Amino acid sequence: MEKFTDYYSATTLGCGNNNGINLKSGCEYVFKSYYRLRCEGENVYRLFFVNKVDSTGNCRAEKKGDGFKICEAYAAFSPDKETEEGRCDITFDNLKEKEVGLGEEYFSDEFTFTYKKGGYMVLTFKVCAECRKFIPATNESVSTGRIFENGKEIWSDNFALRPAFIGIKKDKKKTVGFWGDSITQGSRTGIDKYEAWTHRIGESLEDDISFWNLGMGWARCYDAASGGVFTKKAAMCDEVFMCFGVNDLKSGGRNAEEITEDIEKACALLKAENKDITIHLLTVPPFNLSEYEEAERKKVNEYIRGTKGYFDIAACLEYDDNGTVKAEYMTNSEDAHPNGEGGRVVYEAFKHWRGQTGW
C-alpha cells in the first residue's frame, strides 16, 4: 500500500468501510458526503480510496469491492447542507472518469478547495452501474450522507465512496491515529455535531499534528491482527492509540487470553510495517456485556494497565466496582456507546493524561 500520510488529515471523522451496498444493474447513482474540516481557507487536497472492507461488520474483513466506474466527481462548499458553491472537479490521472478495479487502492489528483469554518466540504461521486455491483461502505457514520438512484434520493444507512483519507498538502510534525471500533469512531453521537471524544481530541490538537480517526463500527482486534488493509493504514501513522475489545467480547466470542494475543500480534504487525511507530493501548470501555464478558473485559484491562503509555478510557466511563457504564454517559439504557457528554468526559481525561505524560 502506497503511503499517503505525507499529507495532513483534513477531518476528525472516521472513514473506514465495515459493510457494503449492492448497486442495481443499469442504474445511475450519486453519492454525497459532508465533512467539517480542521483547516480554513484555500488548500490543496488529495483523496485516497480503498475498494475493500476494513473490518468485520456484516461483511468479512478484506472483502473486495467489485470493479465499477466513477463517471464524475467534484468537491464543493456548503454552508448549510442544502446549497453548494465553489465547485471544483476531482480527477484521476488527469481524467474526469475512473475505472476502479476489483479491491483497488487509488488516489485522486490534487485539487484546490476553499473551506470556511462552520460549513461543509461536500464530496460528490456519480457511478454508472452496467450490472449489479458490490461497493464497500460504512453504516456507522455520524455525518450526513445522501444517495440518489436515477435522480431520486433514496434512504440508506450505508454510505459508499467515502474516501479512506482526505489529505491536505500541508506541513506537519506527525500523524496521530486513533484506531478502534465504533466507540473510537464516535458512533451514536449527534449527526454532524462532532461531539465524540475523538472528534474533540482531534480538534484540540496543535495545528502541526495531523489527526486520523481510524475508528469503525464493529471493528475487532482479530481483524487488526490480520495484517490486512485495516492494519496497514494504522501503520502509516507516526503514533497510534489502539482501542479494541468490545466487539471481540460481545459478538466475536473471544476470551481475554485471545484478545491480549491479538493485541500483541497487532502491535508486532505495526512495528514490522513501521519500526518507528509509537503505540498506546486504551483500556476496553464498559459496554452492555454479560457477566462472563465483563469478567473477561476486566482481565484484558488488567493486562493493558501493565503496559507503558496506556490511556484508561474505561475509568472515565464506568463505576468503580461493577464496571457498569454511567447512565449519563450512555446513548440510552440499551446502548452503552458514549454520548456527547461521555465524549466530553473522556476528552477532559485525555487532556489531563496528556499534561501528566508530556505527550
Q: How far apart are CA 254 and CA 276, in angstroms?
A: 30
Look-up of cell digits 487470553? 257
Q: What angle do CA 186, 192, 195 make, to 5 degrees?
A: 45
**CATH T-level assignment (fold) for domain 172-357:** Rossmann fold (3.40.50)
Q: How far apart are CA 124 and CA 243, in angstroms?
A: 31
Domain boundaries, the chain: 8-165, 172-357
Are 31 and 191 in contact, with CB atoms under 8 Å apart? no
pLDDT of the chain, 359 residues: tens digit per residue: 667 778 999 999 988 898 888 999 999 999 999 999 999 999 999 999 999 988 876 567 889 999 999 999 999 999 999 999 999 999 999 999 999 999 999 999 999 999 999 999 999 999 988 888 999 988 767 899 999 999 999 987 778 889 999 999 999 999 999 999 999 999 999 999 999 999 999 999 999 999 999 999 899 999 999 999 999 999 999 999 999 999 999 988 999 999 999 999 999 999 999 999 999 999 999 999 999 999 999 999 999 999 999 999 999 999 766 777 888 999 998 899 999 999 999 999 999 999 999 88
Q: How far apart are CA 46 and CA 192, in angstroms?
A: 22
First to last CA, the chain: 29
Model confidence pLDDT, tens digit, residues 178-194:
999 999 999 999 999 99
According to DSSP, residue 309 is labeled T
Task: Give kind and range of the element (H or E) at residue 268.
Answer: helix 256-273
What is the phi/psi pair of residue 344, to 5°? -65, -45
Q: Write down the pTM of the prediction.
A: 0.95
Are 219 and 55 in contact, with CB atoms under 8 Å apart? yes
